[in-house]
């Protein structure tokens, strides 16, 4: 059971973002191919008076991508999303996963949304902490791009369940 806790914890960490999942999937630029599916998604905080942003992990066969989107309009009650940037994710092992900004931070970019490619490992106190982070990206709002950042100083953590 404890082997599955990182995956369950990751899903639970996305619940606030998932509350907007039906809205985030309103209308979007089409996925790159028919065999592509959205694995996960998260809302990204932005400037209060600016547009809404979201990121999604897209799987096309064996290929994974991190896609940055901006809300460009409305279609009735559903937002319309446009893809701004995309990075291809290569997992060095099956245990590596895309770690979301809900539980990742960088000492170099403390106030920005940070994504990381690494593994979550259970700690003795029942919490989880990132290990073997091999790549990381930040959301560059000025350029509306995902920018690669150094992995030193990137930490992803999740409190243990009581």
* Cβ atoms within 10 Å, residue 57: 19
Is residue 25, in this structure, part of any structural domain at all?
A: no
- Bridge partners of residue 159, in order along the sequence: none
| 153 occurs within a structural domain | yes
| Residue 21 pLDDT greater than 80, yes or no | no
The pTM for the full model equals: 0.74
What's the chain's average pLDDT?
80
Q: How far is CA 10 from CA 13, 18, 26, 92, 161, in A?
A: 5, 12, 23, 19, 12
In this predicted structure, the answer to whether residue 131 has a pLDDT above a threshold of 70 is yes
Residue 137 within any structural domain of the chain: yes
Residues in the chain, overall count: 162
| pLDDT reported for residue 161 | 64
Residue 75: domain span:
2-19+35-158
For residue range 78-117, list pLDDT tens digits in order. 989 999 999 999 888 888 999 999 899 999 999 889 999 9
Q: Is the model more confident about 153 or about 159?
A: 153
């Amino acid at each position: 059971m404890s082997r599955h806790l990182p995956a369950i914890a990751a899903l639970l960490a996305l619940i606030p973002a998932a509350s907007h999942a039906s809205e985030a999937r309103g209308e979007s630029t089409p996925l790159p191919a028919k065999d592509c599916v959205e694995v996960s998604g998260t809302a990204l905080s932005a400037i209060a008076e600016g547009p809404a942003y979201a990121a999604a992990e897209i799987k096309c066969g064996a290929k994974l991508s991190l896609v940055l989107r901006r809300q460009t309009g409305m279609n009735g009650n559903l937002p319309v999303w446009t893809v701004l940037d995309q990075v291809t994710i290569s997992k060095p092992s099956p245990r590596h996963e895309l770690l979301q900004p809900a539980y990742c931070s960088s000492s170099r970019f403390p106030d920005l949304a940070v994504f990381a490619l690494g593994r979550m490992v259970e700690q003795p106190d029942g919490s989880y902490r990132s290990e073997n982070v091999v790549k990381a990206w930040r959301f560059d709002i000025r350029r509306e791009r995902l920018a690669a950042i150094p992995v030193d100083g990137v930490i992803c953590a999740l409190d243990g369940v009581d």
